[in-house]
Amino acid sequence: MNVETILSQIDLGAMALPEFQRGYVWNRDQVRGLMDSLYRQHPVGGLLVWVTKTEQATARGDGQLSAGSVELLLDGQQRITSLYGIIRGEPPRFFEGNRQAFTDLYFNLDDETFEFYGPVKMRDNPAWINVTQLMQEGAGPTIRRLSRLADLDDDVADLYFERVNRIDNIKKIDLHIEKVVGDDKTVDVVVDIFNKVNSGGTKLSKGDLALAKICAEWPEARDAMRRRLDKWEAVGFHFRLEWLLRCVNAIVTGEALFTALANVGPAEVQRGLEQSEEAIDTLLNLVSSRLGLDHDRVLGSRYSFPLLAHYVVRRGGRLSDYRERDKLLYWYVHTFLWGRYAGSTETILNQDLGLIEELDGGIDRLIEQLRRNRGDLAIHANDFLGWSRGARFYPLLYMLTRVYHAQDWETGFELSSNLLGRLSALQMHHIFPRALLYKHGYKMDEVNALANFTFLTQETNLLVSDKDPVEYLERYEHLHPGAIESHWIPADRRLWRVENYLEFLAARRELLANAANQFLNSLLTGKAEQVASVPAVLELRREPIASNAPLEDEEQAIIDTAEWVQQQGLPAGEMLYELADPNTGEPLALFDLAWPDGLQEGLSQPVALLLNEAEAMEQLANDAGFRYFTSVTTFREYVQREILAEPLEDVAD
């Protein structure tokens, strides 16, 4: 079947994309390569389609399917979508991805190259022709425009005309179509075929397969889930669709494995999604108001949420009293401190769900299981030795600042009640400035020690800047007595001197460990104080988070980079991504920003951004197969050059 006919079949609804297929992920370089191969009549491979009855088909997009039967694309989506976008000038109805990958493609009639539009190179140069315009108008109008060029001699004109026709004739190239047919070809069988065909590309996960089965009976399922994810994204929490599906699974089936959803009907799944939304709202409000963990970067142990949501739903959406609530929070905090779900998530989650099958005493059994694994749930000073600010204890430090009502040094206000819920609310601050420490010969891991961090308001952070603590701490101690101590700053003035920095760290680690144990034990016994005047996070924020506050340079650079990547139509990265040992779950490293599945999921290698990290961190990233970058500029160049295949002149520092 030729390309033009295939595109017409898509327009008629006779060919579509199955619901379980992921979106469009090709970049401009891949699009150029496809067009160059077709132009030179090189083989580009055939298509694989699944022929199924229309009433049994679940296709992506809102297009009307043809009556009788429909052909669902199993292999060839990226090629066909690219051709559709170039020839039709717009993406097909099933499209989901970055349309810039195939928009504004031009062809040079002199050197026979395809490139995307660049005004400096192409403006007022008739040798560059718009490929989409040519495809839509046909070769005739383009040839007539070229004929009007007075300085075009006959030989060059003939060459141009032949090349224009070769591009236009791409629409007539035949692509072989292999068909999967038969009543025995269920979704399970077809997905297995899909994975085998795509052995070198993006395979479907267990969650994808489970969602495909759900969408077969409830086509609106994916959109319904995305609406929930968008709502939480708007208030500062980024979750993946598979994570939400795991919460639904735990609530509906009481199991961690997605196979448990095989015999669950659409009505049950829909109700499970509604219950999940209510339970997750409750939990986000709870950890925000009770623990002060009010945005994504301090929300630890997100894979404990399926169990937490399951528990809340079985309790009728409401915990019985403050003792049960605080004991559950005690367990939750310890799951992120010790990486309970950092390893084999399904195995551990199933084990823990079994512990609360009988609700009475369930939380005690969860805590006891953690204690058996750890041997001790007490926090020790050495636990704050984290060599990266993104260690598991980073959320704990933030939490302690909130729940103990630490005071802002300049204003004396409690940090638990200032501009809550926004990234600009509490800013990370180096107690001993980095420049001062480097000047005195301290190593990078010492400079970035967790015990050197605290949180202040934006105003105070800017005022303190890079001042020597021996000066500014004394001033604030007199300005607001007790404010310095509320941040667990050792009272011994001798430790405020830069030459005694390592002693300062040791003393502060002891103070932090004592404070952490005191608060966590009070949660366990039901005697914990509550964060003052903290509204529920989902009621507090109804507008998307603005991150325009001048945070510390490094933190702001990470936030800006994450937002820039999303603006390019690429998947959101994971801030403070924890690299864990796959067998033990023990943390190996924390990356500032990472894409563990690549910027083109399944098609490109894992990527990490590591700013001002030690060489050991870089070696761990390399050993784990990550391509890492140590500056924002080089990372953006990589994205533009290798992922988007764009010219580099637009890269911003």
pLDDT for the residue 343: 63
Listed as ranges, residues in the chain with pLDDT below 70 are: 20, 56, 150, 183-192, 194-206, 343-344, 386-391, 416-425, 528-553, 555, 576, 582-587, 601-604, 645-653
Q: Count of CB atoms within 10 A of residue 481's CB?
A: 11
User: What are 4-13's contacts with CB under 8 Å, separation 24+?
Assistant: 4/87, 4/171, 4/172, 6/47, 6/80, 6/83, 6/175, 7/80, 7/83, 7/84, 7/87, 7/88, 9/71, 10/80, 10/84, 10/92, 10/93, 12/66, 13/63, 13/64, 13/65, 13/66, 13/70
pLDDT for the residue 528: 66
Beta bridge partners of 59: 18
Whole-angstrom distance, CA of residue 215 vs CA of residue 387: 45
pLDDT for the residue 649: 46
Whole-angstrom distance, CA of residue 481 vs CA of residue 474: 10
Beta bridge partners of 129: 107
CA 205, 206, 211, 212: dihedral to nearest 10 degrees? 80
pLDDT for the residue 548: 34
Whole-angstrom distance, CA of residue 182 vs CA of residue 285: 50
The pair of structure tokens assigned to 51 is: 């022929």
pLDDT for the residue 310: 97
Helix (H) or strand (E) holding 580: strand 574-580
How many residues belong to the chain? 653
Whole-angstrom distance, CA of residue 54 vs CA of residue 219: 13
Whole-angstrom distance, CA of residue 449 vs CA of residue 437: 12
The pTM is what? 0.71
pLDDT for the residue 420: 39
pLDDT tens, 362-409? Answer: 999 999 999 998 888 999 998 887 655 455 788 899 899 989 989 999
DSSP 492-552: -GGGGSGGGHHHHHHHHHHHHHHHHHHHHHHHHHT-----TT---HHHH--SPPP--S---
pLDDT for the residue 228: 94
Whole-angstrom distance, CA of residue 135 vs CA of residue 131: 6
pLDDT tens, 459-497? Answer: 888 888 889 999 999 999 999 999 999 999 999 999 999
pLDDT for the residue 541: 42
Judge whether 296 and 233 are in contact, CB under 8 Å. Answer: no
Distances in Å between the Cα of 341 and the Cα atoms of 245, 499, 589 are 17, 40, 15
Starting at the edge strand found earlier in the chain, the sheet holding 128-130 runs 113-116, 105-108, 128-130
Domain boundaries, the chain: 3-180, 205-374, 381-540, 553-650
Angle at 337 (CA atoms; ends 333, 342), nearest 5 degrees: 105
